[in-house]
Structure 1
Amino acid sequence: MERPLLEPVSSKRASKLQTLGNIIVTVVGTGVLGLPFAFRIAGWVAGSLGVAVVGLSTYYCMLLLVNCREKLASEEPLGESNTYGDLGYRSFGNLGRYLTEVIIVVAQCAGSVAYFVFIGQNLHSVFEGLSLASYIFMLVPVEIGLSWIGSLSALAPFSIFADVCNILAMGIVVKEDVQRALGEGFSFRERTAITSNIGGLPFAAGMAIFCFEGFGMTLALENSMQDRRKFPMLLAQTFGGITLVYILFGLCGYMAFGEETRDIVTLNLPRNWSSLSVQVGLCVGLAFTLPIMLHPINEIVEGKLKIILRNNNESTGPGNICIYISRAIVVVGLAVVASFVPEFGVFASFVGSTLCAMLSFVLPATFHLKLFGSSLPFWRKALDFLVLFSGLFFAIYGTYNTIVGV
């Protein structure tokens, strides 16, 4: 697939710090606020182990994608595989591309819808007065303007600003959690370690997978880095830190509120200045994160548009206008869908159980097995098959469990 029209081939590549900011803002999103609820459902021991396993598995599968692209690049130096869809095509032809791109588009759309829902709900609870849909559509002009920025390196300052907002907001939440836990006193024995409700584990795992979102951005992030050889180490360090923060955040929230923990932990906070600042800060941070979430969608749509324009012998000028219009349409469409979404927690778990599981585990393992085949040692084949079948089982059972309820 070709590069997006709004990102010229000569665009400046991102530095290590810029890539770090883009990784964090790509991975960390609204799902983190559902982790305390996931710990309540699964238990604090099961929740901690689950987040650690999901984080490690996601990192491993991200490296599988990078390895697949490197193998194809070494075999066909003139052929580019810069997107997830390209790997699908090189592995299984047009069917592989279409299946991969459909899953990516739907998954990224679902994640973006979750962002719109979360921001709208928080703005509605803080300012009131208007309907939830009104606050969602107030974001549309801002998001359209940000989506017209075509380069990841150009988006890096917004990513870093969003990271700062998210970190400050999460810090205030943890402070409130610790103050409540210490003020009221609690014992680990008063909190569930491992739930007796086995059906609750897939629901909680779906929330955890949703927290490690942005998987479709893996190749774009790696390709945008100046020194791509350092990407695996940078990714490992970043994922290690994010996973640790996730565990501590979920643990603190559950320990503070116990069985009263809500699906969005900010709803448990008292209505004071710190709580309001948390909600506003998260809204600002996530508003600047949305363009990163939209990047894989725009990349796929623009690739199709560029092929159509080339076949019709259109010039670059009209092509750029079409790209701007398409990005605006995507934002408006997602805002419309978000205005009809009910509960955030159930929606997040459903997306994690289905789309994210397929995108993060099933497809990378399948591509790796297809492209490397007999050259893989036995233990790598066994590990890939374990990831593949675990992802399929989890997607099927997790979807059923989310639909019927915990």
Structure 2
Amino acid sequence: MLVPLEILLSWINTLSALAPFSIFADVCNVLAIGFVVKEDIQEALGGQFSFGDRKAITPNIGGLPFAGGMAVFCFEGFGMTLALEASMKERRTFPKLLAKAFASITLVYVLFGFLGYMAYGEETRDIVTLNLPADWTTITVQIGLCLGLAFTFPIMIHPVNEIVEDNLKRLGWFQKLPCSDNDIDYSKTKIWKLIVYTARSIVVIVLGVVASCVPGFGVFVSLVGSTVCALLSFVLPASFHLQLLGSSMRLWQKVLDSLILLGGLMFAAYGTYNTAIGV
């Protein structure tokens, strides 16, 4: 039902133009998260439980790879880093802003997950709103979260669209597009817009089909976190840093990058295996 809306939003070319939609999505998410946290606290305080009843809080580390994949997936927006930096007027302030954003988001994720698990224990669902009572307030929260996701999605696929369009420009058939000698720029612009809109629509439709085919949200999130997100967060940045700046780096910097690279590969391999056998 939301696919046509997502297609229209994906046609917006710049991140700055998407900012109002992002703000609206953030407001929806904050309100919905606030309500869920309130329900979690009420449930935890009203129920009889002890930390010993929560099996996840044990010395057993068998579930850490699955949890690690989930945790890494929470930062799937890592792929937006370069695009966000490029859209800023004062790029020199970006590292400090990025650090603050990561610290704040990490705190929110930890508290949100902890409170949800304390409230519902082993009955906690993959999507915690499914644990809430079936009433109009829960429906309102779910609608708010859906709106937040809907208006965040175009921002998240912006780097994907840029990569797809850059690759299209390199194709030989695009270079041979018929153009009028009198108005070559205008002709190319019209054709290019048609190609861009079509490509972005296809991307949205494909992602929508994939999302509708996901059997278990939690397992899927952990699998993506252990594979794609782990590569984006640890393996590729360390590899690029070593390759581009390796000759000018100090020994401890090379060792640190190498440890991050190896750790990311090991985490990706074991996390993927652990998640796959749990399917």
TM-score greater than 0.5 by the shorter chain:
yes
- Counterpart amino acid of 1:312? K
Q: 1:333 aligns with which of 206, 210, 223?
A: 206
Query: Is 1:237 matched up with 2:100?
Result: yes
What amino acid maps onto 1:353 in structure 2? S
Residues of 1 paired with 2:53 and 2:146: CA distance? Answer: 33
Cα distance in 2 for residues equivalent to 1:394 and 1:204: 11
Match of 1:180 among 31, 40, 43: 43
- Look up the match of 1:278: 141
Q: Secondary structure at the match of 1:214?
A: helix
Summarize deviations over 1:348-377 as a string: whole Å, max 9, x none.
Answer: 000000111011110000111111113222
TM-score normalised over the length of structure 1: 0.64
Deviation, 1:197, is 4.1
Question: Does the 8 A contact of 1:263 with 1:345 survive in 2?
Answer: yes
How far residue 174 of structure 1 moved from its aligned partner, in angstroms, is 0.3
Structure 2 CA distance for aligned equivalents of residues 340 and 190 of structure 1: 34
Give the match for residue 299 of structure 1.
162
Deviations 1:217-247 (A, max 9, x none): 1111001001000001111111111111111
1:147 is matched with which residue?
10
Q: Structure 2 length as normaliser, TM-score?
A: 0.92
**Which residue of structure 1 lines up, in the alignment, with residue 182 of structure 2?**
none
Kept in 2, the 8 Å contact 1:306–1:319? The answer is no
2:122 maps to 1:259: yes
RMSD over aligned CA atoms reads 1.6
Is residue 170 of structure 1 aligned with residue 43 of structure 2?
no
CA distance in 2, matches of 1:323, 1:397: 39
Counterpart amino acid of residue 49 in structure 2: F
Runs of 4+ displaced beyond 6 Å? none
For the pair shown, the structure with the greater C-alpha radius of gyration is 2
Matched residues, percent identical? 68
- The residue aligned with 1:78 is none
> Using the alignment, how far apart are the partners of 2:38 and 2:163 within structure 1?
41
Counterpart selection for 1:202 from 62, 65, 68: 65
CA distance in 2, matches of 1:363, 1:376: 17
Counterpart of 1:351 in structure 2 is 224
Report 1:19-38 matches (<5 A): none
Q: Match for residue 311 of structure 1?
A: 175
Runs (5+) with no aligned partner, structure 1:
1-137
Give the match's secondary structure for 1:199.
coil
Once the two structures are TM-superposed, the CA of residue 284 in structure 1 deviates from its matched residue by 0.5
Equivalent residue number for residue 118 of structure 1: none
Cα distance in 2, alignment partners of residues 304 and 282 from structure 1: 34
Which residue is 1:377 aligned to? Answer: 250
